[in-house]
Structure formats: structure tokens, C-alpha cells
Amino acid sequence: MSERKVIDARGSFCPGPLMELIGWMKMAAVGDELELLSTDKGSASDVPEWVNKVGHQFIGTREEAGVWHITVKKAK
Amino acid sequence: MEPNKISIVVVSGAFERLQMAAMVASVGAVSGNEVRVFLSMNAMPFFLRGDQKLPPAEGPFGTLMSGKNVPAFRSLFENAVELGDAKVYPCSMAMDVMGIEREALEPYLSEPMGLTKFLHDVRNSQVWSF
């Protein structure tokens, strides 16, 4: 069964949120979902780029009151 | 697919330049590139083991960054080495001039390197300098 881990990187600037996500991805199991919270707009596009580049699965992004919620799934 | 090679020469001791070099290294490394960093000149004193001194801003953006929660450049270089394929080489000449040994430097740095080897290593690489 997969777990969803929430990574709170609010208040941190690029590339902080991406690095935090990657650190957690390394520890996650294949199939795990991670939700990154970021107030940094740049990260909202950086993360999907990175996910596509390295071959994980981008689930989606939504923005709520200035906070981006970016969900990715570890695919390998 | 063969990774791209990104080489970064860092000689500046200015906040903005160290920060940018760290950003290129870290984002480059986690994106599947082979990143090789060469540290020398005014950058060297900022990589002494355990020394957290802040590099001076060289312009208004540095001052702006100081008031914000931007990731520390040292953490980003460490991220590059730990999360991706990056190596950070201290310049052997700069170490000689400063009179220091490898133990005086941050543990995530690789062995000292000279220009002869570095220039050979970067011959087919994208080269950035700060």
C-alpha cells in the first residue's frame, strides 16, 4: 500500500523546495506519493520539469491561497 | 543516454556568484548531468570545514537575498554531491597559497585538483564560470 508524504517547503526559495522533494524521494518506496507544499512560484514549474526528466510520475498541481500543492509519484 | 557534462569554475567570493554557482551545480546534478566544480581564488575561504561565514553581497540582489530564506550555497553544493552526480574539487594551487590541507576543507569536497587535469576533464563539457 502506498503512503502519501507531505513535504512542507513553504517559505523557502528556489531550488530549496526541489531539493527537499528529491531528498524525500530518495527515501520513498516505488509507488509512494509525495505532496510538496511551496510558496515559491518557480518551483511549480521546476518540479514537473524534473519529474519528467528523471522519469517519475507527475500527478498534478493545485494552487490554494498562494501555496502550490505539487503531487508526484515515485515511479522507479 | 549519455549525461551532459557541466563544469563550473568558481573563483568569486561574492554572495551572488557563490549562490548562482551552487544553484547551477545542484539543479544540474539532480537533473541527471555530470557536474564537476573547480573552486579557487576568493571562493576557497568559504569552503573551510565548519566555517559558516557569509560571503559579502556585491550588489543590491545580494542584500535582497540576505533578508529571505534562500537555501544556503553550502547546502546546495552538498545537495549536488549527495543527490546527484557532482564532484567539487578544491584547486591545489589555492590550497598551497593558503597553506591548508584537505582536512581543513568541507568533507563533501573531493581531492585537490590542478588545472592540467581539470582542463582535460572539461574538454567536452559545458563550462560555466563565476
With 80 as the cut, is the pLDDT of residue A3 above it? no
Write out the three cell numbers for A54. Answer: 528523471
Interchain proximity B71–A11, CB inside 8 Å: no
> Rounded to whole angstroms, how far apart are CA atoms B3 and B21?
19
Show the domain range for A21.
4-73
Per-residue pLDDT, averaged over B93-105, amounts to 97
List, for residues B3-31, the tens digit of each pLDDT value.
Answer: 799 999 999 999 999 999 999 999 999 99
pTM value is 0.94
Number of domains chain A contains: 1
Of A13, A26, A50, the CB nearest to B71: A13
User: What are the strands, taking DSSP E only, across B58-125?
Assistant: 85-90
Of B31, B32, B69, the CB nearest to A12: B69
Kindly report the average pLDDT of chain B as a whole number. Answer: 96
CB A44 within 8 A of CB A38: yes
Kindly indicate the confidence band of residue B76, based on its pLDDT and cuts at 50, 70 and 90.
very high
- What 3-state class would DSSP assign to B92? helix
CATH number for the domain spanning A67: value is 3.30.110.40
Domains and CATH numbers, chain B: 5-129 (3.40.1260.10)
Q: Which residues of A are less than 8 Å from B30 in CB distance?
A: 18-19, 22, 50, 54
